């Protein structure tokens, strides 16, 4: 399995927020996703999308999803078995 990279993950995050957080904003930021306005519901939607697309399992008890920025998300997805 592969991860197309930051751009694609930024698109998935933006889609999970119904585009209230833009791709360009995500790519430019080092802030945690939640600091950018990604809600807990959007994080659940994102976890579902990541699992479906990359065949990985996101542990919702792992705080990384809630505290990581886009680069942290890339690392998380890679660590869960997808290759960048």
The pLDDT assigned to 83 comes to 56
Q: Is the pLDDT of residue 40 over 90?
A: yes
Q: How much is the pTM?
A: 0.89
What confidence tier does 4 reach under pLDDT thresholds 50, 70, 90?
Answer: low
**How far is residue 16's CA from residue 77's CA, in Å, rounded to a whole number?**
16
List domains and CATH numbers for the chain. 6-79 (1.10.1200)
Q: What is the pLDDT of residues 42-70, one digit of tens each?
A: 999 999 999 999 999 999 998 888 899 99
Residues 6+ apart with CB under 8 A from 72: 32, 64
């Amino acid at each position: 399995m592969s991860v197309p990279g930051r751009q694609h993950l930024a698109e998935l995050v933006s889609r999970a927020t119904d585009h209230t957080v833009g791709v360009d904003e995500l790519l430019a930021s080092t802030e945690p996703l939640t600091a950018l306005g990604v809600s807990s519901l959007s994080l659940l939607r994102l976890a579902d999308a990541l699992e479906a697309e990359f065949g990985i399992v996101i542990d919702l008890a792992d705080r990384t999803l809630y505290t990581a920025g886009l680069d942290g998300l890339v690392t998380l997805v890679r660590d869960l078995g997808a290759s960048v």
